Amino acid sequence: MTFFLAFLGIPLTVFVLFVLYPFIQAIYWAMTDWRGYSPDYNFVGLDNFTKMFEDDVFLKALRNVALLAAVVPLVTLTLALGVAVAITLGGPSKGPVRGIKGASFYRIISFFPYVVPAIIVGLIWAQMYDPNAGLLNGMLNKLGLDFESFAWLGEKSTAMPALMFVFVWGLVGFYAVLFIAAIKGVPGELYEAAKIDGAGRFRTTISITLPAIRDSVQTAYIYLGIAALDAFVFVQALLPNGGPDNSTLTISQHLFTTAFRKGQFGYATAMGVVLAVVTLVFAALVFTVNRLTGGGEDKKEKAPRRKAPPAGVESGALPAGAEGGAR
């Protein structure tokens, strides 16, 4: 009983009080017309959710975060895996399998953007994208391209790609370091055998590296997808008003505006509940895809089954005529 209370009861109590109960409370407030600054409110049931899915602005925000969750993790993890493979396995083709020369330096450089706070990254790139004094337009003009006063964040066609680029730039280094650590745990004999068989680096990455670090990739995809679905800090720093025609508006931004500028905390809480459900569905999809593609299979090698002895021969007995040979 003491063991149960110490190792299960206390953590379970903390989880219920600080995770489960606040979530249940949020569902309750999502069914009220609470204004946030008054103790008075009315229970409205599912009216907030009905209103939400009739709101064109919210539906556009939902589509935007779905696009971010589809593109940002895929591009970021692909680049991160490429960097990790180059650093750990991209050395000379002769000799033992090893990383490129100066791997530690490239690891630090790739990780540096993640060290900078996200709000600072957003503000830096907001200045980079500035149409008049931004470094990006200045460099492109120096190359002879006509980007004079081009508003990267002011055009509907470029606002979302520009935002995605900042996401990828800010996060790829962290996941590259994560994959480097995972690849370091793969037995080197596998790479040596693949090298002897003539497999190239791309084939080795697909056939050995990816299956070996599959769990790390799944975890990274979930965490990065959650970050993309939330997408508040980068978007608020770059496009605080949701971009042209709300082309980059996210649910968290719309929630913030609804709660703190319009005073509709009940309605905003309903948005938060929907965002939480979308996040859970995203995680479930990643787990499902991983399992359907073989990630959930038991990877332990099964001991070979012994063949049954021929009929009429007892286990451990020698076949007829073999006794003399055994002697």
The answer to whether residues 209 and 186 touch, using CB atoms and an 8 Å cutoff, is yes
Residue 312 sits at the vertex; the CA angle it makes with 307 and 315, to the nearest 5 degrees, is 45
Give the C-alpha separation, 7 to 151, whole Å. 56
Which of the 8 DSSP states describes residue 250? -
Domains of the chain and CATH, by start: 72-247 (1.10.3720.10)
The 3-state DSSP class for residue 32 equals: strand
Helices in 90-134 by DSSP H: which ranges? 103-115, 118-128
Q: Which residues contact 141 (CB under 8 A, 6 or more apart)?
A: 147, 148
pLDDT score, position 112: 86
pLDDT digits (tens, 9 = 90+) for 116-138: 999 999 999 999 999 988 899 99
- % of the chain residues with pLDDT over 90: 57
For the cut 60, the answer to whether the pLDDT of residue 177 exceeds it is yes
Which of the 8 DSSP states describes residue 43? B
pLDDT digits (tens, 9 = 90+) for 41-86: 999 999 999 999 999 999 999 999 999 999 999 999 999 999 999 8
Q: pTM of the prediction?
A: 0.83
Residue 257 sits at the vertex; the CA angle it makes with 254 and 262, to the nearest 5 degrees, is 125
